Chain A
């Protein structure tokens, strides 16, 4: 599980950890019943307070994403269906950030949607000229 925390990010650190677990599930790098790093190891590698990691794991447990087996560690819950819940949820989070970024730049939702389609279609300038095939 790869996690990079950013302090410039508006999300609290524990939320960033939760989102990293969710994105691991969506990308398939983390699967049901697989173990998460121990609180000690993850806090050590992220240089964060262990309570921040515990808080993230506790919230994920409340959401049914992980389960804490006492004496064994934290595992992805067996019944997790990333496609049904985590994927739309993560998409909304990414959308929320994109919207905030757009609004900061004085753009409206419509500008953003149009530009997203154009960029996706390989038409980054919006004038029908495709990016030269490299």
Chain B
């Protein structure tokens, strides 16, 4: 059984259907526990963002879902298959942008490399590949080894999207891209989701960029999830409360929710609480606090609050 007692927020998304799940997934590199009993649940058709500090296990998790990492314990299910067994078959149904920027064979042209990709993906959409390449300003005659980091990323995105896979695994998809191309990529992803039924798992440090695009959030720390829930639930129930309080105020006995973070000055508190808005507001008010404002946290702020609460505990 997996130990989820350390999670601050809900981590169970219920009965699915899920496109991707892991159960008690564990992976060690020597003495380092990269994944530590991870229960990932990515609902069918969801756009899921994976947030967490460096070394939290995000890339290891994505590589495991691709069948590129041999895990030691637990189970992995990607559209009904274990990628460790049916590697190539599973990978054919996934659009993958890896953490690294190496694309194709150095001596090949970009055009040749993309044609090469098409062989592995029967659903390759030539017209769409051309359209994306044009939008990204990709020159098919370029040799792969001459591509810059950002150019390489654009080609990787074309390769991941052009076969309209049922699953997209995007590891820092906008890494290395300039502002304009990053923005264009978000627009391309929005259109892609409108045109093709897709389940997307995105790992990124630029959470604010993808926040409007995603509907599920997972916060990963030390190889396990601190929270995994719909974005709207996060915005609706993890709230910051600003209140004026009397001198020496010690807080309510029962705040009506789970206090994730306490900060603020002596007579003006700023608490981050997981719970029902009205219940928490009542709890604070009955204890003598005058609640001035209640506001949701961005996914970024929520992740920081959870991660710092984790360190404090």
Contacts and interface: CB of A to CB of B under 8 A. Distances in A.
A7 B212 contact: yes
Nearest to B293: A104
5 contacts: A12-B235, A40-B194, A47-B186, A100-B293, A106-B244
Interface in B237-261: 242, 244
A51 interface: yes
Contacts of A106: 244, 292
B213 A48 contact: yes
A49 B190 contact: yes
B287 interface: no
A14 to B, nearest CB: 9
Interface in B218-252: 232, 235, 242, 244
Given A7-B212, A104-B292, A106-B292, A47 B232 contact: no
What is the interface of chain A mostly: helix, strand, loop, or mixed? helix
Interface of B: 47, 183, 186-187, 189-191, 193-195, 208, 211-215, 232, 235, 242, 244, 292-293, 295-296, 298
A40 B187 CA distance: 10
Q: Which of A12, A13, A44 has the most chain B CB atoms inside 10 A of its CB?
A: A44
A43 B186 CA distance: 10
Contacts of A39: 194
B211 A44 contact: no
A49 B187 contact: no
B212 A48 contact: yes
Contacts of A52: 212
A52 B193 CA distance: 11
Nearest to A106: B292
B166 to A, nearest CB: 17
A49 B214 CA distance: 6
Given A45-B187, A49-B215, A103-B292, 20 more contacts: A7-B208, A7-B298, A8-B298, A10-B295, A12-B235, A40-B190, A40-B195, A43-B191, A44-B187, A44-B190, A44-B194, A47-B187, A47-B189, A47-B213, A48-B213, A49-B190, A50-B193, A100-B293, A104-B292, A104-B293
A90 B19 CA distance: 40
Contacts of A12: 232, 235
A125 B244 CA distance: 28
B213 A103 contact: no
A80 interface: no
A43 B235 contact: no
A115 interface: no
- Interchain residue pairs A-B with the least CB separation, the first 5: A50-B194, A40-B194, A47-B186, A48-B212, A104-B293
B60 to A, nearest CB: 27
A44 B213 contact: no
A13 B296 CA distance: 12
A46 B292 CA distance: 31
A103 B212 contact: no
Contacts of A8: 298
Contacts of B189: 47
B215 A43 contact: no
Nearest to B214: A49
B190 A43 contact: yes
Nearest to A39: B194
A51 B214 CA distance: 10
